[in-house]
């Protein structure tokens, strides 16, 4: 299939349709409303379900209903809207209900603004919901990757019976660039062993998130954490760019990753050995891979459009193997390759003089 | 010759035991629902959605597929299920704290969309499971743990009349309020729930039945006194009746 010029939000919506998404439930919020508009225009004519729900609470709980039947379903929202979904995301992890959530981040906290930001890394990864749980989180940096990761989100949701979040931001949602819609490349698992469709010639089933008997909740959580461990072993992905000889490694996720890549190219032109480590899966975080990278470099510079959220996971992975610096802007402030370049030059000049490694 | 006149519905688990307080109304309603699912031979095609409160443990009583929902969101979960499986029979089982308080927005919008599902709402005018706090349906003057001197309208307003409001929604096919205080009105309650089930089976729209039920533990009354309270006091505030029935409109 040939490349087409497509807007990020619409690419995500079309990719969901290609992935076999049967239902979209959503509530409008900038900067992702085009996803709902696209779904509203296309799903009914395909005989699939589109509902503008009364709230984000309703949207995600409709996704739960669809998920309990083993049907591919999706919702999308932004920042404060995703905040309203946290109770349900926790419940989905507990009851092992599949579903896809697209989060197109805007400025926060509070209602914030409608400018692009990455302030919801904690919200996506560390959870605003209750209890021990993990959402699989995928982080696209281009429209093409948004398409590919939307496909992967639907597959992983069914494969692991867990919510999967596509964590994008307002830049990616609103930008147009050429991209190709390949075929949905996955074989999805059989859902008939667990999905609810009526107790026909089999014992009744239930998919619930309340487990009162003593020890039941702990046992269930332990079992689900074994699943998370399997996800970490089998699904972790990242992009490494010019890492082989890098003395300074940039870490960045999402659209900041592509801005950082431009900065790496600028630095290389000036003879500085700079590389990029960009996690594609945020959970599972490429912890071991980043630690190996840290052992072979002099310094890491973490770049984010927030006050330093992935930074905690970067430091945890590096675990003192090299110093970790942070540079970011927040709540709609943007990073440019030139700004990053300035920071690179400042840090690179200090590399040779450093005598001891440590976390600073 | 012996004739079997009373048996346990197939839609109730053989080894399931109700865990409700003495005099509680839930058991009667759950049995009525199970009898009707048996009568319509829907057991193999039913998905029940539990809610939060004393209504939560459906999978421990029903021999049916059950999906759990968070506080007030059962109609959303039901919507998701029914839209994916339109040939299945889908109902929510909720209390007044769930369907008429935290989840009333969801109840109203589900009714307005005319979802082909059925909601059975048990109204015992308080949050039963958490120990008897005032809910949206609590009567003015009613003593609860959060209104120890009685609900005062000037402080917390007036009770919400769910069945009447749901009846106003165009997507609602059937809305009624029933009681289960006498053999006669238990039979009437069953007929109301039958109607609400039939509107779903016929694809006519949303069905809603509000059942006034006793909560002797939190009302601090005996089971008999609780039934008298429903008949003498609660029905004056939350009157029994059919507030919408599109099948009756068609006949007229």
Nearest by Cα to A76 from A47, A108, A44, A53: A53
Query: A149 and A173, same structural domain?
Result: yes
Query: A216 and A80, same structural domain?
Result: yes
Chain A residues close to B46, C-beta within 8 Å:
198-199
| Nearest by CB: A206 against B59, B76, B79 | B59
Tally A–B CB contacts below 8 A: 134
For residue B2, what pLDDT is reported?
Answer: 83
Nearest by Cα to A297 from A360, A352, A351, A246: A246
pLDDT exceeds cutoff 90 at B37: yes
Would residue A357 count as lying in a domain?
A: no
In three-state form (DSSP H/G/I as H, E/B as E, the rest C), the secondary structure along B215-247 is CHHHHCCCHHHHHHHHHHHHHHHCCCEEEEEHH
Query: A247 and A154, same structural domain?
Result: no
CATH number for B110: 3.40.50.970
Per-residue pLDDT tens digits for B172-188: 999 999 999 999 999 99
Would residue A197 count as lying in a domain?
A: no
Query: A228 and A249, same structural domain?
Result: no
Cα(A300)–Cα(A326) distance, integer angstroms: 8
CATH number for A148: 3.40.50.970
A66 Cβ partners below 8 Å, 6+ apart?
A: A22, A23, A25, A49, A72, A73, A99, B80, B81, B83, B84
Chain B contact present for A73, CB below 8 A? yes
> How many CB atoms neighbour CB A94 within 10 A?
23
- Lowest mean per-residue pLDDT among A49-53, A107-111, B83-87: A107-111
Would residue B107 count as lying in a domain?
A: yes
pLDDT exceeds cutoff 80 at B83: yes
For residue A202, what pLDDT is reported?
Answer: 96
Chain A residues close to B44, C-beta within 8 Å:
198-201
Query: A153 and A33, same structural domain?
Result: yes
For residue B69, what pLDDT is reported?
Answer: 97
Distance from CA of A293 to the nearest CA of B (A): 43
Model ipTM value = 0.95
Chain B contact present for A94, CB below 8 A? no
Query: A84 and A51, same structural domain?
Result: yes
Q: Would you report the helix, strand and coil content of chain B in percent, each value rounded to 5? A: 40, 15, 40
| Nearest by CB: B47 against A61, A91, A196 | A196
pTM: 0.95
Question: What percent of chain A has a predicted confidence (pLDDT) above 90?
Answer: 94
For residue B67, what pLDDT is reported?
Answer: 98
Task: Answer yes or no: do B65 and A54 touch at CB < 8 A.
Answer: no
Nearest by Cα to B115 from B90, B141, B97: B90
Would residue B7 count as lying in a domain?
A: no
- Determine the residue among A47, A49, A61, A191 to mutate to test chain B binding: the one whose Cβ has the most chain B Cβ atoms within 10 Å: A61
Per-residue pLDDT tens digits for A316-358: 999 999 999 999 999 989 999 999 999 999 999 988 654 444 4
- Mean pLDDT calculated for residue range B53-80: 96
Residue entry with tokens 């996720």: A253
Which residue(s) pair with A100 in the sheet?
A74, A164
- Determine the residue among B77, B88, B169 to mutate to test chain A binding: the one whose Cβ has the most chain A Cβ atoms within 10 Å: B77
Would residue A248 count as lying in a domain?
A: yes
Contact between B78 and A51 (Cβ < 8 Å): no
Tokens of A37: 């508009």
* Residue A127 confidence class, pLDDT cut points 50, 70, 90: confident
Overall domain count for chain A: 2
CATH number for A257: 3.40.50.920
Task: Answer yes or no: do B66 and A205 touch at CB < 8 A.
Answer: yes
For residue B159, what pLDDT is reported?
Answer: 98
Query: A177 and A32, same structural domain?
Result: yes
For residue A359, what pLDDT is reported?
Answer: 44
A45 Cβ partners below 8 Å, 6+ apart?
A: none
- Mean pLDDT calculated for residue range B135-162: 97
Over chain A, what is the mean pLDDT? Answer: 95
Query: A280 and A229, same structural domain?
Result: no
Query: A347 and A306, same structural domain?
Result: yes
Would residue A307 count as lying in a domain?
A: yes
Would residue B161 count as lying in a domain?
A: yes
Distinct helix (H) and strand (E) counts, chain B:
11, 7
- Mean pLDDT calculated for residue range A229-247: 98
User: Which residues form the domain of B147?
Assistant: 26-251
For residue A353, what pLDDT is reported?
Answer: 54
Would residue B184 count as lying in a domain?
A: yes
Per-residue pLDDT tens digits for A128-176: 899 999 999 999 999 999 999 999 999 999 999 999 999 999 999 999 9
Would residue B244 count as lying in a domain?
A: yes
Query: A307 and A291, same structural domain?
Result: yes
Would residue A309 count as lying in a domain?
A: yes
Would residue B65 count as lying in a domain?
A: yes
Nearest by Cα to A98 from B46, B62, B80: B80
Would residue A360 count as lying in a domain?
A: no
For residue B44, what pLDDT is reported?
Answer: 97
Strands (E), chain A: 4-7, 23-26, 49-52, 73-77, 99-105, 136-138, 163-169, 176-179, 206-207, 238-241, 248-251, 274-279, 281-283, 299-304, 324-328
Would residue A29 count as lying in a domain?
A: yes
Cα(A262)–Cα(A242) distance, integer angstroms: 12
Would residue B159 count as lying in a domain?
A: yes
Per-residue pLDDT tens digits for B209-239: 999 999 999 999 999 999 999 999 999 999 9
For residue A128, what pLDDT is reported?
Answer: 85
For residue A360, what pLDDT is reported?
Answer: 44
Chain B residues close to A87, C-beta within 8 Å:
70-71
Task: Answer yes or no: do A197 and B105 touch at CB < 8 A.
Answer: no
- Mean pLDDT calculated for residue range A26-42: 97
Task: Answer yes or no: do A51 and B69 touch at CB < 8 A.
Answer: no
Query: A305 and A224, same structural domain?
Result: no
Long-range CB pairs of B162-165 (<8 Å, 24+ gap) are B162/B96, B162/B99, B162/B100, B162/B104, B162/B107, B162/B121, B162/B123, B162/B137, B162/B208, B162/B210, B163/B208, B163/B209, B163/B210, B163/B238, B163/B241, B163/B243, B164/B243, B165/B108
Query: A268 and A134, same structural domain?
Result: no
Overall domain count for chain B: 1
**Eight-state DSSP code of residue B59:** G
For residue A88, what pLDDT is reported?
Answer: 97
User: Which residues form the domain of A336?
Assistant: 239-351
Chain A residues close to B116, C-beta within 8 Å:
none
Would residue B17 count as lying in a domain?
A: no
For residue A354, what pLDDT is reported?
Answer: 45
Task: Answer yes or no: do A207 and B66 touch at CB < 8 A.
Answer: yes
**Eight-state DSSP code of residue B18:** -
For residue B3, what pLDDT is reported?
Answer: 85
Per-residue pLDDT tens digits for B24-33: 999 999 999 9
Would residue A34 count as lying in a domain?
A: yes
Helix (H, G, I), strand (E, B) or coil at A117: coil
């Amino acid at each position: 299939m040939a490349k087409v010029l497509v807007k990020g939000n619409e690419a995500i919506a079309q990719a969901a349709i290609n992935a076999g998404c049967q239902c979209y439930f959503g509530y409008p919020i900038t900067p992702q409303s085009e996803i709902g508009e696209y779904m509203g225009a296309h799903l009914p004519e395909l005989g699939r379900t589109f509902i503008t729900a009364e709230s984000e609470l309703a949207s995600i709980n409709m996704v739960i209903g669809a998920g309990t039947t083993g049907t591919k379903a999706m919702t999308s929202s932004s920042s404060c809207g995703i905040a309203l979904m946290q109770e349900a995301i926790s419940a989905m992890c507990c009851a092992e209900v599949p579903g896809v959530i697209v989060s197109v981040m805007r400025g926060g906290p509070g209602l914030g603004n409608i400018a692009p930001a990455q302030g919801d890394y904690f919200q996506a990864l560390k959870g605003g919901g209750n209890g021990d749980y993990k959402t699989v989180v995928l982080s696209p940096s281009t429209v093409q990757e948004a398409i590919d990761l939307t496909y992967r989100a639907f597959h992983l949701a069914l494969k692991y019976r867990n919510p999967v979040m596509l964590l994008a931001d307002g830049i990616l949602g609103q930008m147009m660039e050429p991209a190709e819609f390949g075929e949905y490349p996955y074989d999805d698992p059989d859902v008939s062993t667990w999905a609810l469709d009526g107790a026909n010639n089999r014992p009744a089933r239930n998919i619930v998130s309340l487990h009162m008997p003593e020890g039941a909740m702990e046992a269930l959580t332990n079992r689900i954490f074994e699943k998370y461990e399997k996800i970490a072993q089998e699904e972790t992905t990242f992009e490494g760019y010019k890492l082989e000889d890098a003395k300074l490694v940039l870490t960045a996720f999402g659209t900041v990753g592509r801005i950082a890549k431009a900065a790496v190219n600028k630095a290389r032109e000036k003879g500085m050995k700079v590389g990029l480590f960009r996690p594609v899966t945020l959970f599972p975080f490429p912890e071991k891979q980043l630690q190996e990278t840290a052992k072979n470099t002099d310094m890491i510079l973490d770049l984010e459009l927030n006050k330093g959220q992935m930074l905690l996971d970067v430091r945890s992975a590096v675990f003192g193997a090299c110093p970790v610096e942070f540079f970011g802007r927040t709540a709609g402030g943007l990073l440019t390759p030139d700004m990053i370049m300035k920071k690179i030059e400042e840090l690179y000049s200090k590399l040779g003089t450093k005598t001891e490694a440590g976390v600073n | 010759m012996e004739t079997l006149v009373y048996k346990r519905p197939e839609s109730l688990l053989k080894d399931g035991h109700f865990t409700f307080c003495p005099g509680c109304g839930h058991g009667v309603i759950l049995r009525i629902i199970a009898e009707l699912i048996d009568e319509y031979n829907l057991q193999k095609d039913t998905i029940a959605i539990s809610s939060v409160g004393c209504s939560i443990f459906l999978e421990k009583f029903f021999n049916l597929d059950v999906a759990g929902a968070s506080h007030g969101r059962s109609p959303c979960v039901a919507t998701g299920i029914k839209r994916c499986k339109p040939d299945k029979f889908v109902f929510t089982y909720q209390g007044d704290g769930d369907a008429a308080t935290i989840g009333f927005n969801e109840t109203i919008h589900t009714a307005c969309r005319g979802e082909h599902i059925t909601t059975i709402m048990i109204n015992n005018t308080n949050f039963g499971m958490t120990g008897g706090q005032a809910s949206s349906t609590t009567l003015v003057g009613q003593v609860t743990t959060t209104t120890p001197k009685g609900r005062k309208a000037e402080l917390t307003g007036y009770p919400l009349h769910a069945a009447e409001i749901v009846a106003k929604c165009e997507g609602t096919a059937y809305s009624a309020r029933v009681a289960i205080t006498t053999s006669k009105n238990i039979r009437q309650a069953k007929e109301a729930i039958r109607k609400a089930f039939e509107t779903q089976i016929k694809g006519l729209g949303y069905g809603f039945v509000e059942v006034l039920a006793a909560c002797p533990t939190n009302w601090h009354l005996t089971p008999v006194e609780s039934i008298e309270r429903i008949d003498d006091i609660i029905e004056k505030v939350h009157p029994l009746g059919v507030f919408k029935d599109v099948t009756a409109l068609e006949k007229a």
